[in-house]
Chain A
């Protein structure tokens, strides 16, 4: 069955970087897009963008350009989200979510990774 296993919680200081991983299993990794979604404490869902797992081409939503980088290691069926120059407002749960058979929109979701930025 399709599974997306994300890396564990992270506590970082402002200005540091963090790299969240999302390891896929149960399907052909390069056949579906991978989305990233952020959820700040007590807030709704915010789509960050997606990466074409076949070409490696990323698309970033407005507000997620510059400090946010999507990448892949197809040899281990893993997608990554790296955030640099962390700020307190980056504190959130970050979800990866595989695309659907009928489009690149989120279908299967990872369990989420808590990233906390605090001095």
Chain B
């Protein structure tokens, strides 16, 4: 099974400051068609999860451009250029190459 490891698990951020969340997979998520099958979700308090980034670096519809995703081998990073209060919640990475698995989640809290 592919194991997804996120860090940090807790991330306090001041509004206006940048934030970065890491997700490492136990094996390559590169599909034969050339895409990394890694996606990022945000679950705001009391809400259903929402898709932020798909296939490693593509913003989902309606997602602000302050969110970006990058890939380096089996290391994946979600960056927020300038955190806003509405960005609070738990961020999950999920691999979708083999029998999907989520990371443990990173709780972003606003200072």
Q: Which residues of A contact B (CB under 8 A)?
A: 35, 37, 44-47, 59, 61-62, 95, 97, 100, 102-107, 109-112
Closest approach, in angstroms, between the C-beta of A103 and any C-beta of chain B? 6
Is the C-beta of B39 less than 8 angstroms from some C-beta in chain A? yes
Q: Which 7 A-B pairs have the closest CB atoms?
A: A105-B96, A109-B48, A47-B100, A44-B105, A45-B102, A107-B51, A45-B92
Max chain A Cβ within 10 angstroms of own Cβ: one of B90, B92, B96: B96
Closest approach, in angstroms, between the C-beta of A33 and any C-beta of chain B? 11
Task: Specify which of B54, B96, B104 is in contact with A44 (CB 8 Å cutoff).
Answer: B104
A112 to B47, CA, bound (A): 9
- Nearest-neighbor residue (CB-CB) of A46 within chain B: B102
A58 to B5, CA, bound (A): 27
Query: Which residues of chain B (90-111) have a CB below 8 Å from chain A?
Result: 90, 92, 94, 96, 99-105
B48 touching A111, Cβ below 8 Å: yes
Closest approach, in angstroms, between the C-beta of B5 and any C-beta of chain A? 12
Max chain B Cβ within 10 angstroms of own Cβ: one of A44, A45, A46, A47: A45
CB-defined A-B contacts under 8 Å, sample of 21: A35-B100, A37-B49, A44-B90, A45-B43, A47-B94, A47-B99, A47-B101, A47-B102, A62-B99, A95-B48, A97-B49, A102-B35, A102-B54, A105-B39, A105-B54, A106-B39, A106-B94, A107-B51, A107-B54, A109-B49, A110-B48
Chain B residues, CB < 8 A from A110: 48
Task: Specify which of B48, B54, B94 is in contact with A112 (CB 8 Å cutoff).
Answer: B48
* Given contact pairs A102-B55, A105-B54, A44 touches B99 in the complex (Cβ within 8 A): no
B50 touching A109, Cβ below 8 Å: yes
Chain A residues, CB < 8 A from B1: 62
- Nearest-neighbor residue (CB-CB) of B58 within chain A: A102
Is the C-beta of B76 less than 8 angstroms from some C-beta in chain A? no
Is the C-beta of B67 less than 8 angstroms from some C-beta in chain A? no
* Given contact pairs A44-B105, A45-B43, A105-B100, A95 touches B49 in the complex (Cβ within 8 A): yes
Closest approach, in angstroms, between the C-beta of B34 and any C-beta of chain A? 12
B48 touching A45, Cβ below 8 Å: no
A47 to B50, CA, bound (A): 15
